[in-house]
Amino acid sequence: MHAALLSRTLVRTSERAQAEHLAECAVQALREEALLSPKPALVDARGSGAHADLDLARMLRSANSLRGPFVDMALAACTARLDGALRTRLAAIGRVAEQRMLLATQGSNAHRGAIWALGLLLGARARLGAGTSAAQICEAAACIARHDDAGQAPSPSTHGARAMRRFGVGGARGQACAGFPQVLQSGLPMLRRRLAAGARIEHARLDALLAIMVELDDTCLLHRGGDKALQAAQSGARRVLELGGAGTREGHAQLLCLDAELMARKASPGGSADLLAASLFLHAVTTS
């Protein structure tokens, strides 16, 4: 009996340690995304971008407020099946996370999309354990996302949901159900290629953001500026990368031009920023 109790205690201690580690990686990914500068029309160290209700201090408070819910998500997933019950449990914790975020930001939506993406990826990583690849984690996250949330209101009224209906795009859930293709095929590979080539960390992260922007039907851009804003962001991001990326003089100048254009449209690539945070998280918790 004593040996069995000790074994269970050790397992629980190990699960708690893993959960706290993964939560810290998720929070750090959000902090790194927020601090990264200069991002086009997004909150960064220069200012609020196109977000009148947000600033860097609020973004960082929001990120820090999510540590506890991220721990709870990891603990909920570590021994669970990748099924509807886990989907519903993660969503319930996600709603608690949203309330903490809103308290930390005085009512501003800093990280709703990131809570969704990181919650799924963190839960998948907790369930699969160490030594799993980014592709395996994304596929497990997709298995969770494809189930319905039993606790969800029947008709979500978020900006993203309205943009999905108006423009016929998949949005955050479509991205998750597909296994986060813009993370796996764009953001994470770009980040790793640039780092392997010796790029400065901030330039590698900016280029990862731009690679995501080129491909993503970003509902934040669509909500704020419609098709024209999305096209401007995608073509502008592509041009920066064609000029060598954020680490070159020409690419940096083009990045600032893209920033000015999106600021004039009052449109920001918030969905792309969420997937950059997802890419940073996966980079931290995987080796391939």
- 16-31, pLDDT tens digit by residue? 999 999 999 999 999 9
pLDDT in tens, 213-262: 999 999 999 998 999 999 999 999 999 999 999 999 999 999 999 999 99
pLDDT higher at 170 or 265: 265
Q: How confident is the model at residue 171 (pLDDT cuts 50, 70, 90)?
A: confident
Would you list the domain boundaries of the chain? 12-148+168-285
CA dihedral in degrees (8, 11, 12, 13; nearest 10)? 120
For 259, the token pair is 């920033």
pLDDT at residue 154 in the model? 60
Which residues, 6 or more positions from 287, have their beta carbon under 8 angstroms from its beta carbon? Answer: 133
For 135, what's the count of Cα atoms within 13 Å in the CB-facing half-sphere? 3
Q: What is the 3-state secondary structure (H, E, C) of 109-142?
A: CCCHHHHHHHHHHHHHHHHHCCCCCHHHHHHHHH
> What CATH fold (topology level) applies to the domain 12-148+168-285?
Triphosphoribosyl-dephospho-CoA protein (1.10.4200)
Q: List, as one string, the DSSP characters of the chain.
A: -HHHHHHHHHHHHHHHHHHHHHHHHHHHHHHHHHH--S-TTS-BTTB-TT-TT--HHHHHHHHHHTHHHHHHHHHHHTTS-SSHHHHHHHHHHHHHHHHHHHHHHTS--SSHHHHHHHHHHHHHHHHH-TT--HHHHHHHHHHHHTS--TTS-SS---HHHHHHHHHT--HHHHHHHTT-HHIIIIIHHHHHHHHHTT--HHHHHHHHHHHHHHH---HHHHHHHHHHHHHHHHHHHHHHHHTT-TTSHHHHHHHHHHHHHHHHHT---HHHHHHHHHHHHHHHH---
Q: How confident is the model at residue 12 (pLDDT cuts 50, 70, 90)?
A: confident
pLDDT at 43 over 90: yes
